[in-house]
Structures are given as C-alpha cells and as structure tokens.
Amino acid sequence: MMAFSDDEAIQAEGSATSTYALAQLRSYIEAQGAQQGSRLPTERQLAEEMGVGRRAVRRALEMLENEGRITRRQGAGTFIGSAPAQPVTRDALIGATDFFEIMEVRLRLEPQLAALAALRGKPGQIARMFELSDRIAQCRDADEGELWDGALHRQIAEAAGNALFLSLFDIVNQVRQDAAWQAVRERARGGLAGHALPVAQHRAIVEAIAARDPQGAAEQMRVHLFSIQEKLIRLGSADADAAPFAIPEPGQPANA
Ligand SMILES: [Zn+2]
C-alpha cells in the first residue's frame, strides 16, 4: 500500500503552502509599490493573514531574502528592499583612497566647477575670488597659504551654483585636508621655485571666470591642478623610501 509517510505529507503540504505564501508575499510587496525600507508584518501576523503555517512563511521569506527583495535585520524586523548601503564616512574614505586618487577626482571636478563659476558667478563672488588670490600671494608660510588656497577653491565651487556639485567638492576637500595628506601636500610645495607659479595660476583662473570664459576657466584650473599632480608624481618616484611625512622646509609658501 502506497502512502506518504507523515513527514513526506508535511513536506509536500509545506512546499505547496510555501509556494502559496511566496506568491502572496510577492503581491503584497508589489502592492506596497516601491516602498523600500518599509517594514513587513511579523512572521506570525503574515501566517495568520495568509492562513498558512509559520514555516511556509519563513521559507517564502528566505526565498525573497535570497532574491534581495527583502532584508531581515536581527531584532528589528523584516524590511522591503535590499540592505541599505552603509553611509560612507570620512574616515572610511580617507582609509580607502590616496592622494593620487584625490587628484584624479579634483582634475575632473574642479575644472567643471570653474567653468560653471564663469557662467553663473555673481559679481560679489568674483570680487571675493580676486581678494582671495591676493591673500594667497601675500602668504608667508605653508599653513597660511593652505587656508587661503582652500578658501579660493571653495569660493569657485560655491560660485558654480550647483548644490550637489558643491557637496561633492566638500567631500573631496574634507578628505584632502586630512592631516596625513597635508604633510604630503606641504612636501609637494616645498620644492616649488618660489610661489610665483601657483599665484599666477590662481590669477589666471579668476581672470577667466571674471571674463565669463568657461572654457578658459576650466583650462586654467586644469593647468593648476596638473602642476600639483606632476609635482606629487615626481616626489612619489624620487623618494619612495624617504620618511613618508617629512617636515617641510619652513617659510615655503603654500599655494596648491
Ligand atoms: Zn590652488
């Protein structure tokens, strides 16, 4: 006499109801629209609402979790959508990047910001750029130069008039201003012959912005950033074995 054992019967029934529970859950999630992050009822509530066993619900949830349709968080419940990306912290970014990556990003970001500043910069913002580039020219040490250089680059970013672009600029700027990078930057500047070159570069950027010349502004910014990058590459290959963060020569002006 052929008969399912109790176990087999339960399994057969279990898998059928799991399929049913899965279909129900799929339509429930779809009915929620794209409510990513909204919480599903508990396993027990779902089982009661669908009229199936909790095991069937659990299996269906496992399937959906595998597909990335839901996320189960210990102690918090089950949520629609895949696990939210961890917010990127400044420290995580600093740990995951290096100065050359920062320059790659700056070279793609800041010329565009300079071009937009040429199109949209307000007269007051442009006047401030001239003031800042004068301040940089008068700087007596690296620390002071750093401060005013940062202010000029940010004023250009702000004058671009795009809040999202400005946020990106600020993220890159925070990473590059980290103390570890500061030492590298100071070394990069230490070898520059005087500070006539960066001062002239800054002035050329601001003048192109004032002349409402977006291509010229982008080009001048590129020239300025390339000169910093080249300097860093030369330093990197010349003294890779040297102490990573040597103290810069005092009195060298800073205008990166
Ligand atoms: Zn600069």
**Residues carrying CATH 1.10.10.10, the chain:** 6-80
Rounded distance between C-alpha atoms, residue 3 and residue 19, angstroms: 23
**Residues carrying CATH 1.20.120.530, the chain:** 90-238
121: helix, coil or strand? coil
CB 156 within 8 A of CB 113: yes
- CA of residue 75 relative to chain centroid, distance: 30
DSSP 80: E
* Beta-bridge partner residues of 78: 72
CATH superfamily of 90-238: GntR ligand-binding domain-like (1.20.120.530)
The pLDDT value given to residue 85 = 56
More confident call, 8 vs 212: 212
Provide the token pair at 219.
């080009």
- CA of 198 from ligand 1 middle (Å) equals 7
Per-position b or e across 12-46, b if 16+ CB within 10 A of its CB: eebeebbeebbebbeeebeeeeeeeeeebeebeeb
- CA of 214 from ligand 1 middle (Å) equals 18
- CA of 149 from ligand 1 middle (Å) equals 5
The pLDDT value given to residue 78 = 85
The pLDDT value given to residue 6 = 43
- CA of 197 from ligand 1 middle (Å) equals 10
CB 62 within 8 A of CB 21: no
The residues placing their C-beta within 5 Å of ligand 1, an ion, are 149
- CA of 101 from ligand 1 middle (Å) equals 17
- CA of 244 from ligand 1 middle (Å) equals 23
251: helix, coil or strand? coil
- CA of 253 from ligand 1 middle (Å) equals 12
Backbone CA torsion sign across 160, 166, 168, 170: positive
More confident call, 155 vs 90: 155
pLDDT beyond 80 at 34: no
For residue 236, what pLDDT band results from cuts at 50, 70 and 90?
low
Mean pLDDT (whole number) for 195-217: 92
In CATH terms, the fold of domain 6-80 is Arc Repressor Mutant, subunit A (1.10.10)
The pLDDT value given to residue 115 = 98
Greatest mean pLDDT range, 69-78, 92-101, 134-143, 207-216: 207-216
| Chain length of the chain | 256
Which residue blocks in 78-122 are alpha helix, DSSP H?
90-96, 99-120
User: Pairing state of beta strands 77-80 and 70-73?
Assistant: antiparallel
> pLDDT tens, 125-176?
999 999 999 998 888 877 788 888 889 999 999 999 999 999 999 988 888 8
- CA of 199 from ligand 1 middle (Å) equals 8
**H or E stretch covering 134:** helix 123-137
- CA of 146 from ligand 1 middle (Å) equals 9
Least confident of 11-15, 34-38, 146-150: 11-15
The pLDDT value given to residue 176 = 80
The pLDDT value given to residue 12 = 44
Q: What percentage of the chain exceeds 70 in pLDDT?
A: 74
pLDDT beyond 90 at 226: yes
- CA of 233 from ligand 1 middle (Å) equals 17
